[in-house]
């Protein structure tokens, strides 16, 4: 266990559905991240929150909407997704993203399938 949990682990949704992914970290870290991992592709950074403020939005379509109500919780709200959005969505946390060498702790991911 890395101290980062994600729910649900698997999600199948239609293109017209609205769903949310949840991430919780128990490490007392100050930063949280959402990544997308597609087969044979590098991890793609989607969003970064530092001290509950969004500091990075990596040109992600508006059908993905993050929310960080406190430093321990991170959500990714999904609506009107496309089949190409099917992927493994990983949440991560780190102590201090402003310091170099800040290692990241990842959750197990949510396997999302859009039908």
Partner 1 sequence: SQKIEQNSEALNIQEGKTATLTCNYTNYSPAYLQWYRQDPGRGPVFLLLIRENEKEKRKERLKVTFDTTLKQSLFHITASQPADSATYLCALQGVLNKFYFGSGTKLNVKP
CB nearer partner 1, residue 75 or residue 106? 106
Task: State in angstroms the smallest separation of the CB of 48 from partner 1.
Answer: 4
Phi, psi of 83 (to 5 degrees): -55, -30
Task: State in angstroms the smallest separation of the CB of 31 from partner 1.
Answer: 7
b/e per residue 50-72 (b: at least 16 CB within 10 A): beeeeeeeeebeeebebebeebb
CB nearer partner 1, residue 1 or residue 16? 1
Instruction: State how far the alpha carbon of 26 is from the alpha carbons of 12, 59, 63, 73, 85, in Å.
Output: 27, 28, 28, 9, 28
Interface pick for partner 1 out of 46, 107, 112, 114 (rule CB under 8 A): 107
C-beta atoms surrounding 107 within 10 Å: 26
Should residue 96 be labelled a site residue for partner 1 when binding is judged by CB under 8 A?
A: no
Where in 14-73 is the site for partner 1 (CB under 8 A)?
A: 31, 33, 40-43, 45, 48, 50, 55-56, 58
Should residue 90 be labelled a site residue for partner 1 when binding is judged by CB under 8 A?
A: yes
């Amino acid at each position: 266990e890395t101290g980062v949990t994600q729910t649900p682990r698997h999600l199948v949704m239609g293109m017209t559905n609205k769903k949310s992914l949840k991430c919780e970290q128990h490490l007392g870290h100050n930063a949280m991240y959402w990544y997308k991992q597609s087969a044979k592709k590098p991890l793609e950074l989607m969003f970064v929150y530092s001290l509950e403020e969004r500091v990075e939005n990596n040109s992600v379509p508006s059908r993905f909407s993050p929310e960080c109500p406190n430093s321990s919780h991170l959500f990714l709200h999904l609506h009107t997704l496309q089949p190409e959005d099917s992927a493994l969505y990983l949440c991560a946390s780190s102590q201090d993203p402003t310091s170099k060498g800040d290692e990241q702790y990842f959750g197990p991911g949510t396997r999302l399938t859009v039908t």
